[in-house]
Amino acid sequence: MDQGRCPEEPLLGGNTSGGVVRVGDTVRRRAGLHTPAVHALLSYLHAAGFAGAPRPLGIDEHGREVLSFIPGTVPWPDEFGLLEPRDRLARAARLIRDFHDAVTGFVPPPDAQWQVLIPAEGDCDIIAHHDLAPWNLVIGPRWAFIDWDLAAPGTRLGDLAYAVHGFAPLSANPRWRRHDAAFRVRVFADAYGLDESQRRDLVPLLARRTRAMHDFLAQQASAGVQPWTSLWETGHGEAWQDDAGYIEAHEAVWAAALAG
């Protein structure tokens, strides 16, 4: 396909994805200092046989990064029913496990620069995605995670704690709060393959990782940094804080579900 003759189609959705367009079977988005490292990561994952991420295809004539387009539906927020069945929720968790296993052997370029929004807790054991959530999952002929621009050193458990928050979801908002949240946490942990020790460590990390998002947005808003200031002003900070409080208040519930 002659990509140069294809029209640019804006891709909407997401909170920080302004300027992202589809051109034929590619996606174009603003590049940054982190782009070479992210492309090295995506190239490694593709060579390792992990199909759950886009392929990097270089930089276009406008200085934008070029990625393969992945057809399908992003479930959050309007198609979350796609993740209602237990087997589909488990499939999302297994996709994360497949990524974590595949990335283990990745050695970043010596000059790698990453976008680190929230430093990871503890010793980093992988290059993590840092935004594994239903708003970055494409469900189609193949399932894949998109928006890898925040990939950076992190931990498996930290990446997973963030994912559990979104996929269960663990939300204080009555629109999203679920009576079966504890069951879904257990399904996710089982499908990922957490051992007993990891399950214990995950429980308090769920709230800490969620609260870290509130604190990050508060700091960025205080400094007037975009797009985070706009997110703060539209209530995202409050939502993360409320979710953290909800998760903390129910830690015994999550612990019982994971131990059962």
Q: What is the pLDDT of residue 123?
A: 95
Q: What is the pLDDT of residue 12?
A: 75
Q: What is the pLDDT of residue 143?
A: 98
Give the residue ranges of DSSP H helices in 113-195.
156-167, 181-192
Q: What is the pLDDT of residue 165?
A: 98
In the predicted model, residues of the chain with pLDDT beneath 70 are 1-5, 13-18
Distance, CA of 58 to chain centre: 22
Q: What is the pLDDT of residue 231?
A: 96
CA dist 28 to 10, 19, 143, 147, 225, Å? 10, 8, 20, 12, 24
Q: What is the pLDDT of residue 153?
A: 98
Q: What is the pLDDT of residue 19?
A: 82
CB 166 within 8 A of CB 247: no
pTM, whole model, 2 decimals? 0.94
CB 125 within 8 A of CB 119: no
Q: What is the pLDDT of residue 83?
A: 98
Q: What is the pLDDT of residue 2?
A: 45
Q: What is the pLDDT of residue 17?
A: 54
Domain 80-259, CATH among 1.10.510.10, 3.40.50.720, 2.60.40.10, 1.10.3720.10: 1.10.510.10
